Amino acid sequence: MSDLLANLNPEQLAAVTLPPQHALILAGAGSGKTRVLTTRIAWLISTGQVGPHGILAVTFTNKAAKEMLARLSAMLPINTRGMWIGTFHGLCNRLLRAHHREAGLPALFQILDSADQLSAIKRLMKNLNVDEEKFPPRELAHFINAHKEQGIRAAQAEVYDDYTARRVELYAEYDAQCQREGVVDFAELLLRTYELLVRNEPLRRHYQERFRHILVDEFQDTNRLQYAWLKLLAGHDGAAPRADGACLFAVGDDDQSIYAFRGAEVGNMRDLEREFSVKNVIRLEQNYRSHGNILDAANALIKNNRGRLGKNLWTDAGAGEPIRVFEGFSDLDEARFVVDEVRELVRDGVPRTQIALLYRSNAQSRVLEHQLFTASVPYRVYGGLRFFDRQEVKHALAYLRLLANPDDDTAFSRVVNFPTRGIGSRSIEALQEAAHRANSSLYNAAASLSGKAGAAVGNFIRLIETLRSETENLPLPEIIEHLIEKSGLRQHYLSEKEGRERLENLDELINAATSFVQEEADTPPELSANPVASFLAHASLEAGEHQAGEGQDAVQLMTIHAAKGLEFDVVFITGLEHGLFPHENAAQERDGLEEERRLMYVAVTRARKRLYLTHAQTRMLHGQTRYCVPSAFLEELPEELLRKVGHTPAYVTQPSLPRREAGGASGLHQQNEAGGFRVGQNVQHAKFGLGVIVAAEGRGGDARVQVNFGAQGMKWLALEYAKLTPA
């Protein structure tokens, strides 16, 4: 026991050894929350308070779940394979597999990833002759998922105009199509599980009595439905939690809640504290990642947010280096500075993998990538195409899905004519119409086709039936190898000029199946009944987190959202300009600026030793030069923590734009003329109307003027695009 609790700080120790009651652990960035969660589980088991099967631990990534299981295996002499530790989606999949009949699902139901869901929606809209320009499929997918994540079915959706009414109808049609085909999307996994537990009291009681301790990681990222699901399992299925309900141990950081656009509700933390009458709120504030100046900057920034639960990060690692701030004349100037600093850092011995270039928007990466490429600096854009998302892999998995479930129309549509077998678009349309009339799957409707189309589709049906027969008793890796050969996929890619890499990926899919079988040898019975279904669920739920190119000796580029949970010795936060970061959309959204500030807080706390903050006076975005104002976040950082790093002549890319003078106003505002216009001149603008020029700057294509348009306010306008006329 002493070894288990060794080296915990006082707050970590208090959290790990709490008596059996509800608790909220406010875990700051780099404060050891994974260690606390894992040690809490180990302590509960080793002290005999609960058995391994009485634990339910929920994470947001499979990587976190696997790390937790690995640590537990090292801490305790137990087999962790059967423990209920995983993501919300993974645990719901497990429960639905065990109770598919009660949930109204086939035993071998398939899971649609986001790309498959979009394909299913497009197919539905085509069958119903819905105009995709009026009802964009991606927007409809977002509409459906957002409602499901709120626990709202189509029948309960609010209708406030004809447009919304039609989207609700399409939501209902989509659900009916998924039910008919025996498939579920990600949001459906959670909603279907929640509905099953709500209506099936014996089943609900079974799991409530089984799980005596429920532990949740990254609680600030839960949405409304996820919180309702947790409440239900914890015995809060009435006006208040039952006295004999499970103990809910939630770990999170309201200052790192950055996924409101995905439905995350930071308010769930306060609701938990109130609804479960939480008496134990423990703050983990000692940071084991960053130097003091970085933490002081993060604390100073986030204190500007209202309604925080409150904590203050600190470290005993020392103040470290000041935070470097660079202002470029342009985004190209900024990128050159960043790349020159990266090269200097590498020369000084910093591994490239420990250098991260962060940005608010993916569009910002282009100029950084260009400069890295020009300087021959290896780099990797984090979030590249995932293995299970690659075309050839999805084709092979579609054949596998059809073997498991012939009613899966998304899989059918993907490979019915791939490799090409003479089934044209008209034949597909005829088949879809026949299926729609008969309210059946495409597979079952194939028999109703006649002529050339019927013969071609019939040959495909016979191919699938033959594959099913030939693979019936084969191990999973051999099933995949057989269908790659017999479906024609291997021959197709052999004939492609650049098919070698695709064939390597198909071989890797066989390897993945082999590893899966080995890893799942001790899987609980409810998941091991059908290895094909289990592997397909694994492909949909788990593999998406494995990024292409991991482990390469390369500088890491990523959005700040993608950086959450990661840490690096050196971090560059680029594009710190008003309208870019904080994003211009934040002003239109409730609490939008506070979410952006939390995002900045996450970015700052990714850095261990050195932090750069960079911005530019001008930036090329969407094909236009934008004149930029420094981000307000820079003003919220204490001056004593910052060191401004200046220009050198090598960085001057826009000589027509004067530099800012140290301690004085910008030289940009000392011109009286620009592009033929002068200060004091009346001008007319097509949108803003009549105005008067009050300032001018720049030359040629970079010339711009500031105009007072009265009721429309003050506007900076680039003369190349504004089309002003003298009034």
Task: List active site positions.
Answer: 33-34, 217-218, 256, 606
CB 222 within 8 A of CB 216: yes
- Sheet strands side by side (includes 689-697): 714-718, 704-708, 689-697, 682-685, 725-726
- The three state secondary structure string of 543-596 is HHHCCCCCCCCCEEEEEHHHHCCCCEEEEEECCCECEECCEHHHHHCCCHHHHH
Beta pairing, strands 379-381 & 23-27:
unpaired
The number of angstroms, rounded, from the C-alpha of 320 to the middle of its chain's C-alpha atoms is: 32
Query: Rounded CA gap, 148 and 317, in Å?
Result: 45
DSSP states along 613-681: EEEEEEEEETTEEEE--B-HHHHTS-GGGEEEE---GGG---TTSPPBPTTS-BGGGGBSEETTEETT-
- What are the angstrom distances between the C-alpha of 566 and each of 34, 60, 68, 318? 13, 14, 16, 21
Residue 120 burial (C-beta neighbours within 10 Å; 0-12, 13-18, 19+): buried
Residue 88: name the closest of 232, 276, 254 by CA.
Answer: 232
Residue 571 phi/psi, 5-degree rounding, is -130, 135
DSSP state of 376: T
Contacts of 640 (CB under 8 A, 6+ apart): none
Question: What is the rounded distance in angstroms from the CA atom of residue 640 to the CA atom of residue 256?
Answer: 25
C-alpha 181/C-alpha 441 separation (Å) is: 7
